[in-house]
Structure formats: structure tokens, C-alpha cells
Amino acid sequence: MLNYHHSSRCYAALLCAILAVACSRPSSIEDKVESYLSQMTLEEKIGIIHAQSKFSSAGVPRLGIPELWTDDGPHGVRPETLWDAWASAKWTNDSATAYPSLTCLAASWDRELAALYGRSVGEEARYRGKDVLLGPGVNIARTPLCGRNFEYMGEDPYLAGELCVPYIKGVQSNGVAACIKHYCVNNHEVNRHTVNVNVSDRALHEIYLPAFRKAVLEGGVWSMMGAYNLYKGEHMCHNDVTVNKILKGDWGFDGALISDWGGTHDTDEAVRNGLDLEFGTRTNGIDLNVSNAYDNYYLAEAYYQGIKSGKYSEDELDDKCRRVLRLMLRTSMNPDGGLGSLNSPEHWADARKIGSEGIVLLKNEGAVLPLKEAPRKVLVLGENAIKPMAVGGSSSSLKAQHETSILDGLKAALPSTEIVYERAYQGDPVIKGYNYSFYDITDPRSDEQLLEDALAAASDADYVIFVGGLNKAKFQDCEGQDRLEYHLPYNQDAIIGAIAAVRPDLIYVNVSGSPVAMPFADEVSAIVQAWYLGSETGNALADVLTGKVNPSGKLPFSFPREYADCPIRTEAQYPGIKGEDGISQCDYSEGIYVGYRWYESQNIKPLFAFGYGLSYTSFSYGEARASSSKMGRSLTVSVPVTNTGDRAGAEVVQLYVSALNSSVDRPVKELKGFEKVWLEPGQTKTVKFALDEESVSYYDEGLGRWVAEKGEYEALVASSSDDVRAKVRFTKN
């Protein structure tokens, strides 16, 4: 037994030694932040809060702090541009895996898949030396015409929030920061730099903020991108209400707010309203032939002089630098992020899995799908069966290391089948994305000839598959412009109708990232929503069409029959009315009634509902039970679900909550839970949903907070927003 005094002296000495080491060498990220900050000069501090090139910002060479590299985008790592310009750097080693668009991930309703997606795309970013991956995008699909719906995660804030969190964690597990965007109320592209959005506090908090809030509070996102538009007259990249009060105040965001490229417009606002890292401001070292145009950034020379003159203290600057240093220590200076990997068979398998799990089977009359084993002859029609789609769409455009077309995917899946291809229509024959990849699929035939040849070929095929939809050319699913019409382009409605007239068993595959009109829906036998699926497009779709994969996707947004059914009915609502000052005032006067919330409030039946999707098997639901008839702070709803078909499959069981006697106007129901359950034939599993006060709350504008009102509620267990299978009432006391 040690002499007590002797042993205590030993412990004291040991403790001092440990403290001495800890004090001398900063251990935690926060210690390192403070240590670096205390060593940095004013010039060095200014240097790290704005860009030094198109996609990078400076480090501190003197202290060994590396540059910070960002890159697009949500579904894959963008190839290199020139130092100062958008143009391609024409490298030959920067192709990557093109993953499915985020609407496809949203359509999977699978949290684990979202985590896989984030890990996988994060590995590619890590390997390519990118510290910040500029995604995911979670702006709510308020109008079907928005050019960037394909980059986002649908019309419901709960779905977008639940799926962006695992994606973010997956990306960040590689020591790469996700950068959730575009914060916020950036829901269309027309006049995106000059539109001021007028939206109620309730709609802001119930519809447009939740996904961003979850990304911060549950996803721990390390960076966020301010949007281009204005709100309450201030640009979102430096907005007092949304940045100082909500993001950094209420939510306690400790990451860096990064401007969208060219989204910064004022030094004073940028200093005071929380912009931490300025990119893409409209200066370009080459065009302005100044020594360094980046000194002209709002957070550069102007800010530096403002501090020197005493206009600004260094307090805001130190906060910005802390956030940027923290971002660097989590990424470029993070030794635990692993090495990453690029263009690996594992990543291709990930892309294929995400694609096949996100594909939505919308119609399957007479069980025309899956295709029977080894059919004799299959006719594939439509430009989108051969059109490369990884390029296009603007900033999320990719140089895919490979991209299997739908035609090639079917050929690979049906080796003994004669597969005939006819174009049927010509839409956008030359595809280019940032000048680094041109595909010329021009066809010399006239429209009439194209259709005639398609009809002629349709006569003796076992199956006819028409692959149409949108593409990522301008004025379709493409950043910077919205669609000009809700119907399909290139006269596809008529062409599909003509082919269905001779082949009513036609299988229509819709490639799009937005809802589209389908006036032919009753004339075809099958409809498959195929999204933009990236490198493994053809293989993922063939997996579903051949039945190798049983489709389990559900729509992340509604397909209204006609645009007139949408909540957007006036120019003031979209795209807004331009004033003398050049600012467009856009009124979100539909409030919280977006997507299914709108259609159900108006008893409008969409062509396909939010949450809808078929399977090659079928599911039955038992009785829903609540753990109690009264909700104090929480309640569990459980329901048995059975696979009543003859093949394994997955069902996305959705839980909606209805307030039956609320004191305020509320949607018929709101999504507050979902679970994807995989079932063998005949298997039953009990699915459980944990509800809490957040599940029943609405945002009270008068009180400026969420309220979980006492009253009667109903939990609706559903296979789709328009297909409720079980209900159970409870009281909130």
C-alpha cells in the first residue's frame, strides 16, 4: 500500500504534467482556432474570408494553414475550372462518378441510403482534394417550373430535412464539409439575383426553414450557402433576420456562411450580417486586368480599410475568422478524414443502388412490368434513351468518368434480346456543359420521318419502351432559367399519343427532375419516373424494368394534372413583379399551402400524389395503435405491415398528422414520419413512429414560436399521401 502522502504527490505531479502539455500544445479544434487566430495579422485575417480564385480561398502560408478548396456539387465532384473563370481547365484526370440527382435520393425515402450517398460522394471529394462540397440543395419545390428542382429534395420540409441529415453526416465523415444550400426561400430561377421574397413568418418556419434547421441542429453541417435572392430587402448572403437572428442566433450555427457565387452586394451588410466567406463576386482578375481583382471583394480591401479607419472593430472579423479556421480544421487540416477514393467500382455500385431505389413505378396496368425473361424483341424509343445527362444543368454539371445510357443498360441486361432503337423525336442534339464535353447526337431525319420510322418499328416488338421527359438543357431542368411550360417539350405529348394508339401496352419512362404534365397517362400501360440517374443510368433503370430490383421509390413531389392546379396563380406569386428599383417583389401568398398541402386544401386530385409509388408486390396494413390516447410530450404509433405478394419488396410507410380542432387554419395533414420497411413474401413487420410535440406543432406568428396546441389529433398511416391505410386518434393535453 503506497504511503498516502507519497502517492498524492505523484498524482499531483502527473496532473501538472498533463496540464502543462495540454496548455503548451492546443489539443481541441477550438484551442487551435484560438491559437491560430492569435498569431494572424490583420492582412492574413482579411485574406482567409474571401476567394482567391473561382473555387478557392487563401490559407496563411506563414503559419502553414493551407488554402481552402470548394467545389460543386450535390451529385458529384465538378471538374476543374480555370483559376479565374468558369471555363473548363481541360484537365484529363478530373472526371468523377456521377451520382443520381437528389430528387432521386429523396424518392428513395431511405435514410440509410442517404448516408451511403453522402459517404460515397464525400470520398470522391476528399480524393479530389476538395474541402467543401457545395451541396446538398434543399430548397422546397414550390413551383414545378423551377429549373433547379432536380437538385433539391421535393416539396415537403420533413422529407427534405430527414434525408439531408444523413447525407451531410456521410459527406463530413470524410473530413469534407457539406454546404447546405441555398439559404433560403430561393425557390425559382427567374430574376434570382433581384427577387425579394415576401413570405409569412409561419410559411418561412413551417415550410422553408425546417430542412436547413435540421441540417444545423441534427446534421451538424459545417457550412451553408447564402442564396442569391433578397428577403426583407436584404440579400440572403448577408441578411440580419435569417443569418444573425435565426441561423447563428436561434440555431447556434458554428460553421461558416459562404456566399453563393456573386451573391455578395455590400460590405457593411456583409460585415454586420454574418457573411463569413465571400466567393464569386463579379470581379475577375483577368477581365479587370488589375493585379488582384480579389482585393475588390466586399470583404477584402474595403473591409480592411474600414477596420484601419476605425469604421469597424475587429470583433466581426475575428468571428468570421474563427468560423473559417474551424472549417479548415474540420476539413483541409483534418487528419482523420481518410484518403477518399474516386471512380471506384464501389462508387458505381452506390450510384446504381441509389438510382434503382429512387426510381418510382407510377403505373403498371396489366402488370406489363417487369419485362418477361429474355424477350425476343424490344423497341426503345426516344432521345433520352441515348442522351448523356450527367452534363448540363449548369453548376451541378459533371464530367462523368462513364455514363451508361438507358439504351446500353437495356442491351447489357437483355443480352439475348434483339433491341431496336428509334429516336422518335429530336430535341436537344448537341449537349455541352462548361465546354468540357460535347455530345453531338444530331439526327438528319425530319420530325415526320422520325415518327414514321418509330411507328413502323413498333409493330412487331414484344415491348415498346418510350424514354422521354426533360433534359438539362436551358429552360428545362437547368439552373439559371425556369421551364416556360409545364408540358413536355419537343411535341412529345403528341408523339407518345401516336405510338400509344398503335401500342396501348406502351411503357413510358419519364426522365425529369420536376413534375411534368402527362396527358397520355391513360393511354399507356406503364409509367416509370426515372430521374437523372448519373453514371449508372442505364443499369439502374434496367434493374427495375427487368425486375432485378423491385421498385420502392415514392414521389417527393406531387404531379399536378395541369399547371393551373398549382398554388401559384398570379405573376406576383411567380416570378414576382419587377419594380422601378429593378427588384422583383415575389409574394408567397399561398403561405404554407405548398405541394400536397395545397392540393388537399383545394380538393384538387393530382395526377400522381406526393408519396405515391407502386411495387411489383403488394402490401397490407393492420390496425394502427397508439401507445396512449393522450400525448404528453411523446407518443408511439405502431402498425403491422405485411408483404401480401410473391416477391420481396420495400414499402415506405408514411405517417401524417391531422389536427382535428385546431384554432388556426392547418393543412389537411402533414408528413411527420416515414419508415422504409423491407419484407419477404408473407412477412409482417410492425413499424413504429415516435411522435413528439414537434409532430403536432404549428408556428404561431403572434408568439414568434412553435406551439403544440391542446386538442384532438389523428395519426394517419399511409402508403401515399392519397392512400391512408390506418388511423388512430389521440389527444394532446
Q: Which ranges in 414-470 belong to alpha helices (H)?
A: 447-457
Task: State the amino acid at position 230 in one-letter form.
Answer: L
Among 44, 72, 278, 422, binds ligand GLC (CB under 6 A): 72
For 290, phi then psi, to 5°, come to -105, 165
Left if phi > 0, otherwise alpha if psi is -120 to 50, otherwise beta: which for 378? beta
| Structure letter (DSSP) for residue 277 | B
Q: Which is nearer to ligand GLC, 183 or 656 (CB)?
A: 183
CB of 537 to ligand GLC, least distance (A): 22
Number of residues near ligand GLC (by CB under 6 A): 7
Pairing of strands 418-422, 430-432: unpaired
**Could you say which of 33, 68, 116, 134 contacts ligand GLC (CB under 6 A)?**
134
> Which residue out of 72, 84, 156, 260 is catalytically annotated?
260
Q: How far is the CB of 72 from ligand GLC (least distance, A)?
A: 5
Window 367 to 426, contacts with ligand GLC (CB under 6 A): 395
Q: How far is the CB of 181 from ligand GLC (least distance, A)?
A: 6
- Residue number with CB closer to ligand GLC (196 or 539): 196
Count of C-beta atoms within a 10 Å radius of residue 381: 33
Q: Which of 150, 152, 212, 261 binds ligand GLC (CB under 6 A)?
A: 261
Q: Active-site residue 260, yes or no?
A: yes
CB of 55 to ligand GLC, least distance (A): 7
Shortest separation between residue 54's beta carbon and ligand GLC, angstroms: 8
Q: Which is nearer to ligand GLC, 69 or 425 (CB)?
A: 69
Residue type, 237: C
Q: Considering only residues 50, 128, 181, 666, which one is a binding residue for ligand GLC as defined by CB under 6 A? A: 181
Report the DSSP beta bridge partners of residue 180. 224
Burial class (CB in 10 A: 0-12, 13-18, 19+), 21: exposed
CB of 260 to ligand GLC, least distance (A): 5
Cβ neighbour number for residue 273 with a 10 Å cutoff: 24
Nearer to ligand GLC, 32 or 193 (CB): 193
Residue 671 bridge partners (DSSP)? 656
94 interacts with ligand GLC by CB under 6 A: no
Nearer to ligand GLC, 134 or 458 (CB): 134
Q: Which lies closer to ligand GLC via its Cβ, residue 261 or residue 303? A: 261
Instruction: Indicate whether 131 belongs to the interface with ligand GLC (CB under 6 A).
Output: no
Q: How far is the CB of 223 from ligand GLC (least distance, A)?
A: 11
Cβ closest to ligand GLC, residue 235 vs residue 554: 235
Across 112-133, b (16+ Cβ under 10 Å) vs e yields ebbbbbbbbbbbbbbbbebbbb
Q: Long-range contacts of range 669-673, CB-CB < 8 Å, 24 or more positions apart?
A: 669/600, 669/716, 669/721, 670/158, 670/597, 671/156, 671/158, 671/159, 671/611, 671/721, 672/158, 673/158, 673/637
Q: Are 231 and 187 in contact (CB under 8 A)?
A: no
Q: How many contiguous H segments (helices) and E segments (strands) does the chain have?
A: 18, 30
Residue 588 CA to residue 41 CA, distance in Å, equals: 46
Which amino acid appears at position 542 of this protein? A
* Binding of residue 260 to ligand GLC (CB under 6 A): yes
Chain residues that interact with ligand GLC, rule: CB under 6 A: 72-73, 134, 181, 260-261, 395
Among all residues, which ones are annotated catalytic? 260
